[in-house]
Amino acid sequence: MLTSTNPRTGETRPTGIAACAPDEADAVIRAADAAFAAASAHDRLWRAGLLDALADALDAHRDDLAAVADAETGLGLPRLTGEVGRSSFQFRMFAEALRDGGYLEATIDHADTTALGPQPEIRRMLVPLGTIAVFGSSNFPFAFSVAGGDTASALAAGNAVVLKAHSSHLATSKASHAVLRDAAAAYGAPEGLIGIVYGTDAGRVLVSHPLVQAVGFTGSLHGGRAIMDLIDARPRPIPFYGELSSLNPLIVTPAAAAARGEAIADGLYGSFTLGSGQFCTKPGVAFVPTGDAGDALVARIAAKATDAAATVLLNGRIASSFDEIRDRVVATGSVAVLAQGVADPGAGFTAVPTVLATTAAALTSEATEEAFGPLIVLVRFDEDAEIVRALDAVPDSLTATVHSEASDADAVAALVRELSPRVGRLVFDGYPTGVRVSWAQHHGGPWPATNSQHTSVGVSAIRRFLRPLAWQDAPEALLPAELRDGYEGIPRRVDGVLQLG
């Protein structure tokens, strides 16, 4: 039987959950594939209603789900109840996208004679893939796990989903799945449309199974590479959408440090310690100018860290990895320990806020290894050219942030030109933690942040689990309703002209 550990105490307890044997995992996947075929008889408006029903069920069980998760993650009830709300919000947002219909990219080119001669009729839109494997993440037991955005977007696209429960919150995963499964059944969805498997071996079966058509993953670079290796070994490789590793550089200009250094110090400290630093968008490296204003900003962050108590990490693996990476970075000799919090000798899994310091000239790639926890490297610089050179030592990321003043306009424009190819989201005068769930959001970035150009947050996340299909000279009866002449209610591009429906 699999066990669950309370990270606050280190106490392990049985879950009553057994790891799935290969044949059990196979049965779950085959049930999902059959459910996908059955659900394909329903239209996108039916799916929108399903997503709303799942959101309603999550809201109805919010307190119970949060209580289960708190015992497995130590994240606290306020954070966890809010996260369940974020999950239900995501389901409703995708229901809205389904009713809008623009995500289909419906396009019609009627038969015509062009400069290239007579041309056939072509109609094109996006269609679902089939059964999608989704791996839950450790740091978001709801929003990036069983009830998370990958599940919501894959279901919205018209697929079936089989989830791999994360070992850090097995009971939470089981409870979340039960809520979704029961709500789907009450709505009339085919049995097996949302499946779940437990255990590492079951995860391997899931990735390698011929009926699985794509994989969504949020986790470590090491875990992502392992899944990619399994996919590469398949006779027919499939798409893999992984969110993997990110340093999220933050830059403070001299003018910003002088104008509001105290506020930036407070905001930056809050951002890199939020959730014990266990956010993929945590600013792990910050460029701070030399001089009195920069010195004051750094001193304020260091003072906060020195006075801080240890905070709970999600599991023992993260705690030991944090210690190893911190020590390895310090051992490079290119950084110094500027401040550390007060250690806790208790039995749980904890870490203390840690501030490391170096200069832009001394920064190396070895010093910019992601430490999943409350650690930041403060990099001092004299001029912007030093930042540009030092950025080559920082892995490409999900985000980059610039704090500046109006007088910095030209310098900021130059920095943005350098940062834009390296990240997926640019943040100005704010902090990258706290990812808005919206239509315009992009949560992705160049490798190693992610391995694709797609987002895992926001409406366009649905695009990962769809593929284009074109119909040439097809009889109308064989066309999807959205591609038939006279269909209204969704945006379509007809003979090159966008029609809003």
What is the tens place of the pLDDT at every residue in 13-46?
999 999 999 999 999 999 999 999 999 999 999 9
Are the beta carbons of 98 and 90 closer than 8 angstroms?
no
Strand partners, 240: 215
Class of domain 22-106+120-244+453-486: alpha beta
268 pLDDT band (50/70/90 cuts)? very high
Give CA–CA dist 192/189, Å, rounded.
9
Three-class DSSP category at 234: coil
Strand 240-243 to 250-252 pairing: unpaired
Give CA–CA dist 13/16, Å, rounded.
9
Rounded to the nearest 10°, the torsion over CA 486, 487, 490, 496 is -40
Give CA–CA dist 120/117, Å, rounded.
10
What's the token pair of residue 166?
């994360």
Read off the DSSP letter of residue 137: P
Mean pLDDT of 178-191: 98
Instruction: Give me the pLDDT at residue 345, please.
Output: 82
Strand 240-243 to 285-289 pairing: unpaired
Bond before 353 cis per omega within 30 degrees: no
Q: Where along the chain do the CATH 3.40.309.10 domains lie?
A: 249-428
Encode pLDDT of 454-492 as tens digits: 999 999 999 999 999 999 999 999 999 999 999 999 999
Mean pLDDT of 159-186: 98
Encode pLDDT of 86-96 as tens digits: 999 999 999 99
108: left (phi over 0), alpha (psi -120 to 50) or beta: beta
Mean pLDDT of 182-206: 98
pLDDT at 271 over 90: yes
Are the beta carbons of 100 and 485 closer than 8 angstroms?
no
pLDDT at 501 over 90: no
Give CA–CA dist 203/166, Å, rounded.
10
Q: Taking the mean position of all CA atoms in its chain, how far away is CA 86?
A: 13
Are the beta carbons of 215 and 135 closer than 8 angstroms?
yes
344 pLDDT band (50/70/90 cuts)? confident
Active-site positions read: 243, 280
Are the beta carbons of 200 and 20 closer than 8 angstroms?
no
Are the beta carbons of 395 and 346 closer than 8 angstroms?
no
Q: Where along the chain do the CATH 3.40.605.10 domains lie?
A: 22-106+120-244+453-486
Instruction: Give me the pLDDT at residue 347, please.
Output: 79
Encode pLDDT of 391-414 as tens digits: 999 999 999 999 999 999 999 999
Instruction: Give me the pLDDT at residue 162, please.
Output: 98
Upper half-sphere CA count for residue 462 (Cβ side, 13 Å): 30
Is residue 357 within a helix (H) or strand (E), and if so which, with residue range? strand 354-359
Read off the DSSP letter of residue 427: E
pLDDT at 70 over 90: yes
Instruction: Give me the pLDDT at residue 346, please.
Output: 80
- Measured in residues, the chain has a length of 501
- Let me know if domain 249-428 sits in CATH 3.40.50.150: no
> Phi and psi of 103, rounded to 5°?
-60, -20
Is residue 358 within a helix (H) or strand (E), and if so which, with residue range? strand 354-359
Q: Which of 301, 246, 312, 245 is nearest to 268 (CA)?
A: 301
